[in-house]
Structure 1
Amino acid sequence: MTNLITILLVDDEKSIRDGLKLLLPWEEYGFHIMGEAENGLDALEKIKEQQPDIVITDLIMPELDGLKLSNIIQRQYPEIHFLVLSSFDDFPYVSQSFKNGAVDYLLKPTLTKESLLTSLTQLSHQITKTEKKLSEQDLLSQQLNRLLAGYSDTNYDGLTTYFKEDNHYILYTNLLWYHTKEQVIQTLESSLFNNMLPYLIEKNEYGIIFSSSLPYSEIKLKVAEKLHSLRMVEPTTFFVLSSPIREINELKEKLHQLKSEAKEQRFYFKQHTFITEEDFLSLTSTEQFDTKKYLRSLLDNDYQLGLTRIEDYFNDVIIDLPKPTVLRQQASSIFYTLFSTLIDAYDKKDDLQQLKQEFLFTVGQLIYLEDFSIFILSMIERINIAINTKEVGITHENELLHNITRYIEHHYASDLSLAMLAETFHFSYSYLSSFFSHHFNTNFSDYLNTVRLKAAKELLLTSDLNLSEIANQCGYSDLSYFSRQFKKYYGSSPSKYRRENQL
C-alpha cells in the first residue's frame, strides 16, 4: 500500500463522498482513499495530518470553498494536486483560478468512471514526474515555509546543513505595498547570495532567507544595490533586512517581529527603499492631548483657538515619533469632535460635512509621516477658510441664549455669579461677559438684578409676604439694598408700589 497514490475526498454531501468511494476499485488502479472531509476547514486539518497526494474536492462548500482551499494548500503544500468537482458549468472561472498544472476539473453531472480514472491517471503521471524533478532546493523551500508557518512536525536538519554559514538573515517585504508583485518576486529570487531560499508563508508575506560569512556592512551594501533598480518601477518599495540570526529555529520569531514592526517603521521612511533592523526608530505612544482645554475652546466658540491647539499638538507630538496607528486614531478623534461642533454651529453645513467625510476617509489611508503632516496642516487651513467665510448661524446662538436665561430664571434666588454661570455652562468668564453685553446690552449683574426685581414685583402684587421675606426669596440678603434697587428700577419703594397697585 505504501506505493499507492493517496487521496482525500472533500464534499459537504455524504452521499457524494460515498458514491465516489464506490465508483472505482481504487486500489486496483494504484490509488488509496486515505480519508474524507465534509468542508474546506475540515479538509485543512486532514491535509495537515495526512498529506495526501491528491485532493478531490467539491467547488461550492460552506465554511471554505474548493477554490480557497486549493489556494491555501498550494502555498503550503505545492506538491499536492487537486481534482475539482462541481455541479456548475463554469469553466472560465475555474480555468482562471487554477492556472497551475496540478489541478483538473470535472462536472458532477457528466462524471463517469472512465472520465474520473482518466483525470486521476494524468495527475498520477504528474506526481511521478514532479517527484523525479524536485531538486534539493525545492524540498528545502517547502521545509522552510512549513517552519515559518509554525508546523511543529517540521524537521529542519536539511536547512541547518544548507545554511552553512554562522549568520542567517531575513529580507522581508509585504506584497500589499506594490502594484507589480511579479517584479518584486523576480527581484528577490534573482541570486543575491549562494545559500538563499525564498519564502511565501502567507498570501502577502514574502522575502528571502540567506546565510553569509560577509560582514554585515557588506551585506547591507549588496542588498541595497540589488534593490535600487526596483524603485524605478515600484517607487513605494520597502524592504527590511534583519539583524544576524544565529539559529535556524529563531527564524520564525524574527520574521514575526519584522512583520509587526515593518509597517509602522515604513511610515517614517518615505524616501527609503531599504532599511535594516538597526535603523528601526523607537516609536512611542502619543503625548496625551489636552482634551479639557480643547473642548473649552470649542464650547467658548473660539474655533481659532481650537485649531491652534490642534496644530501645536501635532507639531509637538510628531517629534516624539509616535506609533502611526495611534497617531491616526488620535487625529480622527480630535477632528471628528471639531467637525461635529462646527456643523452644529453653522447654518451652511455642506462644505463642513464634505470636509469631515474627506478627512475621515483620507487620514486612515496615509502611509507616510510627510504626507500625514501636510494633510493635517492643509485641513486646518481649509477649515479656517470655511468658518471665516460664513456667518455664524443663529441656531447655536439661540439655543445657548435660551439655556442661559432659563437657568437664571430658576436660580436667581441663589448666590448666583457670572463665574458660577461660566463654570456651569463650560465657558470662559470673559466669553460669557461678552455674551451678555452683545445679547442684552448690559452686564451680567444688571441682567440678574432685573430678573430678581421682576420676581419681587410679582410677589408684591400676588402674595402676603412681608418685604424681608420677598427680598430673601428674590436673592437679596439686605432689605435696604433691595429697596434702593427696586426704587431705582420702578421709581417707587416696594411698600409704596404694593399699596398703589395691589388689588
Structure 2
Amino acid sequence: MSDLCKVLIVDDEYIMRQGIKHLVNWDKEGFLIVGEATNGKEALIMVEELKPHIVVMDVVMPVMDGVELTKEVHEKYPDIKIIVLSGFDDFCYVKETLKNGAMDYILKPTLTGEVFLEALKRAADSIPGFSLSGNSNLNLNHALEWYIAGYSDSMNIQDFPEFAKLNTYRMFAVDINYAFENDNDYVAKIRKEIRKTLNEAGIIFGRTVIDNRNLIYVFNYDIVYEIGVLEKLSRIAERVKNVKPKGFFVLSKRFENIQDVREIYLQVESQINSGFYYDNKSILNMEYSKEIQKEIPKFDYNDFSYDLRNGEYNTAIGKMRGYIEKCAKAHDNCEKIKNKAKNFIYNIIIMLEEYDIDVEPMRRKYFKEIEETIYVTDFLKKLDEILDEIKKAFAENMTGTDRVMNKITKHILEHYMEPLDLDSLAKEFNYNYNYLSSYFNSKNKEGFSGYLNKIRIEKSCEILKKEDIPISDVSTMVGYSDHSYFCRVFKKTTGYTPSVYRRRFR
C-alpha cells in the first residue's frame, strides 16, 4: 500500500512543536502531520481519533509523560511506531520508553531536518505492508496553516482540485483555549461533531489550529445547501454554550477566492473573543453583522499617576473606571480589557502599602474575580464592587494627617518649578519642620530634596521627549537655576545626560 504516512506530534512546548513542523518538507517526503498534542493524556485521545502511523513525542511532559504514553500506545496500538525526543539529562526516561515499545530516540540538541527525516523513514519502513507515497502535493490543512500564518505567499489551489469545485467559501472558528479552558476531551468531541456535519453534507473542508489556540474550518460548498449546513453548525454552537458558557463561534462572510482566506482570518480573529459582549449568542455570523469594534481610546497615565501620588485616590479610580467603560463600548478584546483593569487595580492598591497593608491577598482575590467573569455586564459589575472595596480601604486607613500630607505633596506637584524648601512648606501648612522632614525621609531616602528632584526630573523627561527646547531652558522650566546642577541630578537619576536622553527616547 502506498499512502501518506500520518504523524502525530506530542510536546508541551509550543515553540518545539512549531520547530518540528518546519524541519522537513512533510508532504513532499510522503508524511502528513495529522495533529498536535501537549501531553500524553491529550495524545491518547487524538491517537484513537486520528489513527497515526507514527507518534513523535517528548519524553518529559505534564499530566502524562512520554514513558507512560509509550506504554499505553504500545499496548493498545502495537502497530504505531514511536519516536522519542529527549534532552541529554533524560536518558533514564528514554531507556524506559524503549523498553515500553519506542523504536527510536533523538536528542533534542542534535535534532536537524536530516536526522529527523532519517528517523521518520526508518519508522515508516518498519510498518508492515506500508510504503511512502512521496506525494509532492501539499496537504490541505497544512497548506491553510502555512498560508494564513504567512509562511507561504499563496494557496496553490491546483493542488486541491476537490476544494476548488465550487466558488463559495466560509470560515468557521473558535478560540479553543478561551472557550474550552484546556478541556481537551471536549475539544476532540466538538471537532468530531463539526467534521461529521460537514462530511454528511458532502462538503470539502480544511481544518487547522492557528497560534495554538484558534481552531478554524474553511469549507467550500454549494450555496443551495447553505441554510441547512449553517443551521447544523449553529446547533453545535448552542450545545457548546450550554456546557461551556465561554463557548462562542465566528462564521465568516462568504468569499469566492481562496487567496482571500488570510484576510478573512484576520477579520474572524478580531471577533473571535467577542462572545464577551454577547451573553445571548453562541455564534456571530459576520455576513450580517456590522463592524462593531471602534478605535480604542487613549488613556492619560501621567494624569492618573499624578492623582495617585497626590493621594486623590477617588479621582484616579473614577478616571480609570470611565476609561474601562469606554473600552467596553468600543468592544476591546476580552483579554486586553481584563488585563487593563488588573493593571489599574494593582497600581491603585499598591498605594495601600503606605498604611502597612499586605496588598498581595487583595491582588490575588481581585484578579481571580475579574478573570472569572464571562460577559461584559458581569465584568463591569464586579469591577464596581472591587473599586468600592478599594475606596473603603482608603477611607478607613487615611487619617487627617494623611489628608494634610496629600495637600502638601499636591502643592509640590503644582509648584515644583518654583523655589521650594522644607522650611517654607512647614510654615505654609503649619507643620513642625522636624516632623515634615521625618515624613519625607520615610518616603524617600534622600528626604525632601530627593522627592523634589524626583518630581522635577520626571517633568524634564516629559519635556525632553516632546519638545525641541534648549536643555538650559528645560532646567529653568522645572525649577533649577543652576544648569550644571540640573545635568548632574539628571544623570544620577536616569543614567543619561539630558542630551543623550533626548536622542535615545524621542
Q: Shorter-chain-normalised TM-score: which range?
A: 0.5 to 0.7
Shift of 1:241: 0.8
Deviation at 1:237, TM superposition (A): 1.7
Q: TM-score, normalising length from structure 2? A: 0.54
Q: Take 2:26 and 2:69, find their aligned partners in 1: how far apart are those partners? A: 27
Which residue matches 1:255?
Answer: 265
The aligned counterpart of 1:12 is none
Larger Cα-atom Rg: 1
Q: CA 1:322–1:78 in structure 2 vs 1: closer, same or farther (change >3 Å)?
A: same
CA distance in 1, matches of 2:57, 2:303: 64
CA contact 1:283–1:321 (8 Å) conserved in 2: yes
Pair 370,281 (structure 1): closer, same or farther in 2 beyond 3 Å: farther
CA distance in 1, matches of 2:392, 2:191: 47
Q: Which residue of 1 aligns with 2:234?
A: 224
- Once the two structures are superposed, the pairs formed by residues 331-350 of structure 1 within 5 Å of their partners are 331-344=341-354, 346-347=355-356, 349-350=357-358
CA deviation after TM superposition for structure 1 residue 51, in Å:
1.8
Pair 1:314–1:146, CA change in 2 (3 A): closer
CA distance in structure 1 between the partners assigned to 2:300 and 2:57 by the alignment:
60
Amino acid corresponding to residue 70 of structure 2 in structure 1: V
| Match of residue 492 from structure 1 | none
Residue 359 in structure 1 maps to residue 366 in structure 2: yes
Q: Please state whether the residue corresponding to 2:284 is helix, strand or coil.
A: strand
Q: Match of 1:46, SS?
A: coil
Residues 1:227 and 1:314: Cα distance change in structure 2 (over 3 Å): closer
Check conservation: 2:170, 2:254, Cα contact below 8 A: yes
Structure 2 counterpart of 1:81: 54
Comparing both chains, which one has the higher relative contact order based on Cα–Cα distances under 8 Å and sequence gaps of 6 or more? 2
Could you tell me the percent identity over the aligned residues? 13
- Deviation of the 1:245 alpha carbon: 1.6
1:189 match: secondary structure: helix
In structure 2, C-alpha distance between the alignment counterparts of 1:323 and 1:116, rounded to whole Å: 46
**Counterpart-to-counterpart distance in 1, 2:58 and 2:393:** 61
Flag the 1:124–1:253 CA change in 2: closer, same or farther, 3 A. Answer: farther
Would the alpha carbon gap of residues 84 and 209 (structure 1) be closer, same or farther in structure 2, given more than 3 Å must change? closer
Q: Distance in 2 between matches of 1:159 and 1:54?
A: 15
User: In the alignment, is residue 104 of structure 1 matched against residue 81 of structure 2?
Assistant: yes
d(CA) in 1 for partners of 2:429, 2:71: 78
CA drift of 1:244 comes to: 0.8
Aligned partner of 2:141 in structure 1 is 145
CA 1:421–1:165 in structure 2 vs 1: closer, same or farther (change >3 Å)? closer
Q: Say whether residues 1:314 and 2:324 are aligned partners.
A: yes
- 2:395 aligns with 388
* SS of residue matched to 1:199: strand
Question: Is 1:198–1:209's contact at 8 Å kept on the other side of the alignment?
Answer: yes
Q: Do the aligned partners of 1:188 and 1:207 also contact (CA within 8 Å) in 2?
A: no
> Any idea what the Cα deviations from partners look like across 1:286-335, whole Å, max 9, x if unmatched?
32334454344334433233333333333344333334455345434433
Q: Distance in 2 between matches of 1:332 and 1:221?
A: 39
1:374 is aligned, of 381, 394, 406, to 381
CA distance in 2, matches of 1:382, 1:191: 49
1:104-123 equivalences in 2 (<5 Å)? 104-105=81-82, 123=126
What's the CA shift string for 1:248-306, capped at 9, x where partnerless? 33334433542x32344233234321111243643234323344543443344332333
Distance 1:320 1:42 in 2: 40
Measure, in 2, the Cα distance between the counterparts of 1:169 and 1:244.
5
8 Å contact 1:5–1:54 — kept in the other structure? yes
Query: What RMSD over aligned residues (CA atoms) do the two structures have, in Å?
Result: 5.4
CA–CA distance in 1 between the matches of 2:367 and 2:316? Answer: 18
Query: What's 1:185 paired with?
Result: 191
Q: Which AA in structure 2 matches 1:223?
A: L
Paired residue type of 2:130: I
Per the normalisation by structure 1, the TM-score is: 0.54
Q: What letter corresponds to residue 377 of structure 1 in structure 2?
A: D
Length, aligned pairs only: 358
Q: One-letter code of the match for 2:81?
A: D
Which 5+ residue runs of structure 2 have no aligned equivalent? 8-16, 60-64, 84-93, 105-121, 419-423, 433-506
CA distance in 1, matches of 2:226, 2:205: 19
Q: Distance in 2 between matches of 1:102 and 1:339?
A: 59
Q: Is the 8 A contact 2:250 2:283 kept in 1?
A: yes
Task: State the match for 2:23 in structure 1.
Answer: 45
Unmatched runs of 5 consecutive residues or more in structure 1: 9-38, 56-64, 132-138, 405-417, 427-431, 441-503
Q: Give distance in 1, aligned partners of 2:203 and 2:384.
A: 49
Deviation per residue, 1:161-192 (Å, 9 max, x gap): 35533211111123222132133112212224
Partners of 2:387 and 2:97 in 1: CA distance: 66
CA offsets, 1:8-51, max 9 Å, x none? 9xxxxxxxxxxxxxxxxxxxxxxxxxxxxxx9957952353752
Task: Select between 99-108 and 269-278 the one with higher mean Cα deviation.
Answer: 99-108
Alpha carbons 2:144, 2:206 under 8 Å: kept: no
Matches within 5 A, 1:447-462: none
